Amino acid sequence: MITQTTQIERSKSNRLAAVRRFYVYLVAFVSQIAMLFGINDLIDTISRAWLQSDGWLQGSFVRTATARSVGLLLVATPLFLIHWWLGQRHRNEAEERSSVLRKLFLYGSTAAGLILMLTNAYRLLREITWLAAGAPISATELLPAGWLPWSFMGAIGIGLVYYWHTVLVADGDFGQEVGAARLVRQLFLAIAGLVGLGIAVWGARTLLQLGLQVAVDQVSRAPDLNWWRLPLGGAVSQVLVGLWLLHAIWQQWQEIVVRRAAEGRAVLRRIYLYAGILTGAIATLTPAALLLREGLLMVFGAGGGSLAALLERMVDPVSFIPVGIVVWFWYWTTLRKETDAYGDSGQSATVRRIYAYLVAATGLGLLWVGAVELLHAIIDAALVGGVWDEPLANGVALLVVGAPIWAIFWRRVQQIAERKDAQGEDERDSWPRKLYLYGVALVGALVLLVTLAQVIYRVLLTLLGEPGLALSSNELAHRLADSAVAGGLWAVHLLAIRADGRFEKTPDDVAKLAAPRSAAERRAALEAQIAQMEQALHAARAELAALEDIK
């Protein structure tokens, strides 16, 4: 009875603590953001009134803006300090330090500090680069007043990031969180890393684009050759800001992986790596397909426009490809190293399958559309007598890009699925594979239903003597081509579904597995189980020793 009463009181206490945390950390976060807005507006107003001589910034405008900012600060600052103090009162409790609501507040506050720091650093670097490239001082926002609020708010952002990181470390479980708290930290690192990657990729692509565009302008003798200064400032600042964020997040995550090997196969880390691979692949293959299309149009004599116009169209795709290749290669090699070093967990194996089947489905879609476009162009050339250059170029480009992607990834997953061991069984039973196979089979069946129904409809009308219809029309041939492509791909995936079914255990197999085994078989199974447990124990002791060495 006493134990049951204690459990009820403990459950009630946990619920009340959760309500308290939700209130305290939510109000602290909202008031912190309001306080930062107030500081930013106040510093911006004061710096412009002090350093800028525009008449409209004087008088009533300054008074109104200052009063609004000060009023917001006078309310938000005490609210934040009081509620943060309430949160820190319980920092000596282990449950408080490891609570998911506290982690959400701390990482959300860190994200706010990062945004404040990086946006202001971007503005400063952009304007400084613009001035260094020869832009007139009168055209920049840096002088006379912009530098002060940007520098001040950037410094506040740096201070916030540093302070909240020290609080996270002081909680004692940084990098060793459990449950939802660990997911919050991993989600923060993954999102921040991908944001940094996106900024750096776009900035690097813009730099290459500017260089190529300037070269094209020189060739075509464009009238304005000084337009590049402003976009250069933005591109340089994006590269610097993005690379810094990407490097800082990666270094922090790597330090955790070194201390804790299980972090190397965490599902969110694998999602981050696969997202980086996809980013590099998209940035490489999409413009490559566009370039191939333009090249084919040139071969067919339908490029259109002058050499300068052609070069203009190629600048954008060419600028993406080198950046995409670098990103693709780095993330792919990193993923392979970590998979070899740390292995796969059940969740990370699922992430790998999602990635593989998603890429295979993308390649299949490109192949499907490309094959249809190519067949339509060939049919038109045979029946109408003319070649439509656009569909032909589109079809070939999509096939050249899509077919290798689908073939590589499809063969890779098929090799695993055709194995007769536990890994093959896991692959065949995985939901990403089932979703991919049955999804493609469903789409293929629906396309066959629609196209073949149209073919039969037109054939029957022709046989019944409907005027104006002919079995040799290109429209009927188009529908037959659509049916042929859909039928071929449908059959391939139906065969794969059938092959997977052959590996499924029959009731007799299940009964054999459930039947009592001999003493020798039982002894061998127990010895294998003990060996696995000893290996896991050895790994755990090695990790514990590493942690002791760090202390």
Check residue 259 and give its pLDDT: 87
CA 495 to chain CA centroid, Å, is: 33
Q: What is the mean pLDDT of the chain?
A: 84
CA distance 76 to 36: 9
From residue 109, give the alpha-carbon distance in Å to each of 80, 102, 158, 165.
12, 11, 12, 10
What does the pLDDT look like over 5-35, one tens digit per residue? 555 555 556 678 889 999 999 999 999 999 9
Which has more pLDDT, 482 or 223? 482
* Tokens (6 digits) for 376: 């339509």
What does the pLDDT look like over 506-529, one tens digit per residue? 455 444 444 445 566 666 667 667
Q: Could you identify the residue written with the tokens 């594979």?
A: 433
Nearest to 438 by CA among 352, 370, 361: 361
What does the pLDDT look like over 300-351, one tens digit per residue? 766 555 566 667 778 888 889 999 999 999 999 999 999 888 888 788 888 9
Check residue 506 and give its pLDDT: 47
Check residue 383 and give its pLDDT: 75
CA distance 325 to 201: 11
Percent of the chain at pLDDT > 90 equals: 45
* Tokens (6 digits) for 268: 């969110």
From residue 301, give the alpha-carbon distance in Å to each of 64, 309, 371, 391.
65, 15, 22, 14
What does the pLDDT look like over 145-195, one tens digit per residue? 778 889 999 999 999 999 999 999 999 889 888 889 999 999 999 999 999
> CB–CB of 110/161 below 8 Å?
yes
> CB–CB of 25/104 below 8 Å?
yes
> CB–CB of 427/353 below 8 Å?
yes
Check residue 1 and give its pLDDT: 46
- Residue 199: pLDDT above 70? yes
Section 30-49 average pLDDT: 90
List the domain boundaries for the chain.
Answer: 1-174, 179-343, 344-504, 514-550
CA distance 535 to 119: 49
CA distance 49 to 59: 9
- Residue 357: pLDDT above 80? yes
- Residue 109: pLDDT above 90? yes
> CB–CB of 76/35 below 8 Å?
yes
- With 0-12 / 13-18 / 19 or more C-beta atoms within 10 angstroms meaning exposed / middle / buried, residue 360 is buried
Q: At what angle are helices 100-132 and 2-51 packed, to 10 degrees?
A: 20
> CB–CB of 130/227 below 8 Å?
no
Section 485-510 average pLDDT: 80
